[in-house]
């Protein structure tokens, strides 16, 4: 009897909805930490997530101890529910051969991953309580150096 009741309860419980990055369209700013080659430092970013047809265009700039980083990434949803991310609108990145990141959103985040010639990269968009957004990145370079960053953003 208890098993039958649990089975009915499980069937009646709605599935958790996958995180939809389009709910975070708008202008953002925030700060966080980065690790590059064993050295940590502060990072400050101003990011915009804007609709571009069915896709989301992520643009912005981050300040790091070595200078500035331009961001341009087009997130394109696919019919199977996955998302493909490709660099767009900024100078080609000559430090990586990764051309595309892919992933499928779950109820906690959109995590995109890519690999090429001995290097890996991941970008994660995580909704935070109170309408915040966290963007976390990690990359293992061909030289074996690990680069990571975590930035918590609030709406501007």
pLDDT computed for residue 101 by the predictor: 96
**Cβ atoms of residues 89 and 57 within 8 Å:** yes
The average pLDDT across 70-89 equals 93
Give the span between the Cα atoms of 50 and 70, in whole angstroms. 16
- For residue 143, what pLDDT band results from cuts at 50, 70 and 90? confident
pLDDT at 5 exceeding the cut of 50:
no
pLDDT above 60 (res 21): yes
pLDDT at residue 1, as a whole number: 39
Specify the pLDDT at position 16.
57
For the stretch 110-130, pLDDT in tens is: 999 999 988 999 999 999 998
Tell me the C-alpha distance between 29 and 148, whole Å: 18
**Per CATH, which fold does 16-155 belong to?**
Lipocalin (2.40.128)
**pLDDT at residue 57, as a whole number:** 96
pLDDT of residue 8: 35
- Please, what sign has the CA dihedral across residues 26, 24, 154, 141? negative
pLDDT in the model for residue 97: 79
pTM: 0.85
* pLDDT at residue 6 is higher than 60: no
Name which of 21-25, 31-35, 45-49, 86-90 the model is least confident about: 86-90
Which of 71, 13, 64, 8 is CA-nearest to residue 41? Answer: 64
């Amino acid at each position: 009897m208890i098993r039958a009741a649990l089975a009915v309860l499980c069937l009646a419980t709605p599935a958790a909805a996958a995180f939809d990055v389009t709910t975070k369209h708008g202008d953002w700013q925030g700060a966080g930490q980065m690790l590059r080659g064993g050295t940590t430092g502060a990072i400050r970013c101003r990011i915009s997530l804007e609709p571009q047809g069915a896709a989301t265009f992520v643009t912005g700039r981050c300040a790091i101890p070595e200078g500035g980083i331009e961001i341009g990434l087009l997130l394109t949803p696919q019919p199977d529910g996955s998302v493909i991310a490709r660099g767009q609108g900024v100078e080609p990145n000559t430090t990586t051969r990764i051309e595309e990141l892919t992933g499928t959103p779950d109820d906690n985040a959109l995590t995109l991953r890519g690999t090429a010639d001995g290097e890996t990269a991941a970008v994660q968009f995580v909704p935070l309580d109170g309408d915040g957004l966290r963007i976390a990145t990690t990359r293992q370079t061909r030289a074996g150096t690990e680069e990571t960053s975590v930035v918590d953003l609030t709406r501007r």
